[in-house]
C-alpha cells in the first residue's frame, strides 16, 4: 500500500491546494483505499498481507497442541476498503445438545484502512449439517486493535487460543438455547425480521424466511431460540443479497449473535421479546411508511402485546 497526498479544490478561484493534515492510501497504483490523518500517532495502516501472514502463523502455532486442518478464505471489497479472513479449524468441533449436531469452530479477522475500521478478530463457526456460518463477538473470544498503533502479531495468537479454549462455553450456550422455547412463531418472526432486520440483508422477503423456518423448526408453534438462530444464519449464509459487500453481511451476523450473548451471558429472552414487540408496534403506529412484514402482522402483534402485557 502506497501513501499519497490529498488535494482540495477552491472552486471560487479554481485552484488546488494540498491538505497537509491528510494523506491518501493507494493499492495497485490507481485504487484509492482511504483518506486518513497524516499524523502517525493518529493513524497507522494495517497491511492486509500482514494480517493474512499473522493469521497463518497463529494457526500453525495452534497445531502444536491441536490436530486440525485450516480451511480459510480471504476476501476484500471491490474498492479494497474492507478485508475479511475467515476460516474453520476442521477437526475441532462442538456438539450442543443430546442429538448429533456438529459445528466446526474457527475464527474471522476483519480490517480496513479507510480510517473507519479497526482490525478485529472474533469466534467463527460453521454448522456441518447445513454449512451455516456464524460470527460471534463474545468478549473472551474477541480481539481488537485500532490504527493508533502498529499491527501486533501476538493478537492473532491470542485469538486462536481463546477460540479453542472457550468453545465449550458456546456449546453450553447452544445446549441451553435448544431447551428454551419462544411463546409463538410470531415472536420468532419479530426477532428475525425486526430485531435482526433480515429482510434488508437477504434476497426476498417474509416468504423466504418462512420457508426456511418451516424447514428448520421441528414444532413451528413452539420454536426454540436455537432454531430461530439457525433460521437467521441459514438466510445470511445461503440467501444474502448479492449486492451487499461482505463487511455488511458480517454486521448482520453480529446482530444474529445477540441471540447468544448479552454482556457475557445468555439474554433474557422474555425481556428481549417485550422490547422487540414494543419497538415494532411503535414503528407501525407512528411511521406512515412502515409496512407489515407479512399480511396480518399487526393483528398478530396485538396478540403478542397482550401476552407480554404491553399497552397500546
pLDDT in tens, 136-150: 656 678 999 999 999
With respect to residue 42, please indicate whether it lies within any of the assigned structural domains. Answer: no
pLDDT score for 201? 97
| pLDDT cut 70: percent of the chain above it | 97
C-alpha cell at 295: 399480511
Residues 213 and 236 in one domain: yes
pLDDT score for 301? 95
Residue 4 has pLDDT above 80, yes or no: yes
Residues 200 and 216 in one domain: yes
Residue 87 has pLDDT above 80, yes or no: yes
- Total domains in the chain come to 3
Residues 63 and 132 in one domain: yes
Check: CB of residue 111 under 8 Å from CB of residue 51.
Answer: yes
With respect to residue 58, please indicate whether it lies within any of the assigned structural domains. Answer: yes
pLDDT score for 138? 66
Residues 70 and 123 in one domain: yes
Residues 288 and 228 in one domain: yes
pLDDT score for 47? 95
Residues 10 and 121 in one domain: no
Residues 172 and 74 in one domain: yes
Residue 21 has pLDDT above 80, yes or no: yes
With respect to residue 12, please indicate whether it lies within any of the assigned structural domains. Answer: yes
pLDDT score for 137? 59
Residues 66 and 172 in one domain: yes
Residues 79 and 122 in one domain: yes
Convert 56-85 to b/e letters by CB count within 10 Å (16 or more is b).
Answer: eebbeebeeeeebebebeeebbeebbbbbb
| Domain end marker among 176, 197, 225 | 176
pLDDT score for 136? 67
Q: What is the domain extent for residue 130?
A: 48-176
Which residues neighbour 245 within 8 Å (Cβ) at sequence distance 6 or greater? 77, 78, 82
With respect to residue 147, please indicate whether it lies within any of the assigned structural domains. Answer: yes
Check: CB of residue 105 under 8 Å from CB of residue 93.
Answer: yes
Residues 270 and 198 in one domain: yes
Residues 28 and 70 in one domain: no
Note the pLDDT tens digit of each residue in 240-254. 999 998 889 988 988
- The torsion of the CA quartet 289, 301, 180, 193, rounded to 10 degrees, works out to -20
Amino acid at each position: 500500500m502506497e501513501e499519497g497526498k490529498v488535494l482540495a479544490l477552491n472552486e471560487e478561484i479554481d485552484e488546488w491546494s494540498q491538505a497537509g493534515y491528510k494523506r491518501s492510501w493507494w493499492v495497485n497504483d490507481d485504487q484509492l483505499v482511504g483518506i486518513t490523518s497524516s499524523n502517525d500517532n493518529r493513524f497507522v495502516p494495517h497491511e492486509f498481507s500482514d494480517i493474512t501472514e499473522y493469521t497463518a502463523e497463529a494457526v500453525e502455532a495452534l497445531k502444536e497442541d491441536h490436530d486440525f486442518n485450516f480451511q480459510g478464505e480471504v476476501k476484500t471489497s471491490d474498492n479494497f476498503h474492507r478485508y475479511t479472513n475467515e476460516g474453520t479449524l476442521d477437526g475441532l468441533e462442538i456438539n450442543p445438545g443430546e442429538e448429533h449436531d456438529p459445528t466446526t469452530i474457527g475464527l474471522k479477522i476483519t480490517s480496513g484502512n479507510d480510517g473507519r475500521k479497526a482490525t478485529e478478530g472474533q469466534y467463527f463457526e460453521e454448522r456441518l449439517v447445513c454449512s451455516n456460518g456464524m460470527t460471534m463477538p463474545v468478549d473472551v473470544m474477541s480481539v481488537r486493535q485500532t490504527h493508533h498503533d502498529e499491527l501486533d502479531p501476538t493478537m492473532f495468537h491470542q485469538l486462536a487460543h481463546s477460540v479453542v479454549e472457550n468453545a465449550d462455553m458456546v456449546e453450553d450456550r447452544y445446549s441451553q438455547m435448544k431447551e428454551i422455547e419462544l411463546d409463538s412463531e410470531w415472536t420468532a418472526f419479530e426477532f428475525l425480521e425486526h430485531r435482526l432486520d433480515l429482510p434488508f440483508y437477504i434476497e426476498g422477503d417474509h416468504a423466504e424466511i418462512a420457508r426456511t423456518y418451516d424447514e428448520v423448526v421441528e414444532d413451528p408453534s413452539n420454536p426454540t431460540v436455537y432454531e430461530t438462530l439457525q433460521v437467521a444464519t441459514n438466510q445470511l449464509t445461503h440467501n444474502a443479497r448479492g449486492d451487499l459487500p461482505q463487511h455488511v453481511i458480517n454486521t448482520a451476523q453480529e446482530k444474529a449473535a445477540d441471540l447468544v450473548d448479552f454482556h457475557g451471558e445468555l439474554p433474557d429472552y422474555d425481556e428481549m421479546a417485550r422490547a422487540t414487540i414494543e419497538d415494532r408496534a411503535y414503528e407501525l403506529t407512528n411511521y406512515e411508511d412502515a409496512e407489515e412484514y407479512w399480511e396480518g402482522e399487526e393483528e398478530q402483534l396485538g396478540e403478542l402485546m397482550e401476552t407480554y402485557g404491553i399497552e397500546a
